[in-house]
Amino acid sequence: MTTIQHPVTQTQWTLPAAVRTPLAPSLSDILDATGPLPPHSLVIGACDDGLHIFLDLTDPRPGSLLVAGDAGCGKTKLIRSILASVAMVNMPRQASFAVIAKDLGEYRSFSGSPNTLTMYPVYHDKAFELVASFTELTEQRRTGRMRGAAVVLAIDDLGSLWETMTSELRDCLAWLVQHGPESGVWPLAALDSRDIVEGKVPSNLLQRFGTRLAGHVADPGWQTYLTSGVALDPPIAGAQFYARFDGRWTPFWIPAER
């Protein structure tokens, strides 16, 4: 596997008719049907054609991931599902994750996972130190001074973190978003559409994310902005997102964690 895509050779798992409503298969269902995924992989979502969308953490071409949409569209739910798939597919020496979250309680269930490196609230000094340390780790790997597991840095939410950072740390984060995946460090950030509308996060930062996972946005204009000018049927809030690959935007369902 080389990028975000439909796996061509794996077993199809046809979604039941009930999935046309806001229901989704679990990660366990997907992995049971397809068989084990290769190490350094994660699951992003399930599609109506019976194939799931995954990410190969050894291939940097998709770039960092931005999960964007209105409040209540399912951003945290999707990030939780992605992190759960990291833990289900990988040994800690293959892939791990760290979390910076506005509401850390949403991620408490991951505190005992061997794949969890650390978790901090958005406004904690340790969260800023974590961004700096991951920037340093990326630079060390780029120069060949350190190797190790793939690491996902989940940021929920990006707007709250950005507004509390110094200009130096903002530069670190912007650099990490652009260059991290080349060294196996993968920013995965949630952003409320309101923060885009209000200009809380600069557009030049958003442009550094290679992959957008677009959730429901009530304003059609901003929905189109997230999908790079392409008008799409609104995804179902809390259950469905769009991802762009193979030159087209494809809707997918958020897999249940279990």
What is the full per-residue pLDDT of the chain (258 aa) written as tens digits? 323 543 322 333 333 333 344 467 899 988 888 888 899 999 999 988 777 899 999 999 999 999 999 999 999 999 999 999 999 999 999 999 999 999 999 999 999 999 999 999 999 999 999 999 999 999 999 888 667 899 999 999 999 999 999 999 999 999 999 999 999 999 999 999 999 989 999 999 999 999 999 999 998 888 888 888 888 898 999 999 999 876 789 999 999 887
pLDDT score, position 145: 63
Walk me through the domains of the chain, giving residue ranges and CATH numbers: 59-231 (3.40.50.300)
pLDDT score, position 18: 36
User: What's the CA gap between 147 and 66, in Å, rounded?
Assistant: 25
- The answer to whether the CB of 211 falls within 8 A of the CB of 171 is no
pLDDT score, position 229: 86
User: What's the CA gap between 119 and 127, in Å, rounded?
Assistant: 8
Q: Which residue has the tokens 């209105």?
A: 70
User: What's the CA gap between 192 and 157, in Å, rounded?
Assistant: 8
pLDDT score, position 146: 61
Query: Which amino acid, 246?
Result: D
- The answer to whether the CB of 74 falls within 8 A of the CB of 238 is yes
Query: Count of alpha carbons within 13 Å of 162, Cβ hemisphere only?
Result: 21
H-state helical runs in 96-247 = 125-142, 158-164, 167-179, 193-197, 203-206, 220-226
Identify the helix (H) or strand (E) that includes residue 186: strand 185-192
- Whole-model pTM above 0.85? yes
Phi, psi of 42 (to 5 degrees): -145, 160
Classify residue 222 by burial, with Cβ atoms within 10 Å: 0-12, 13-18, 19+.
middle
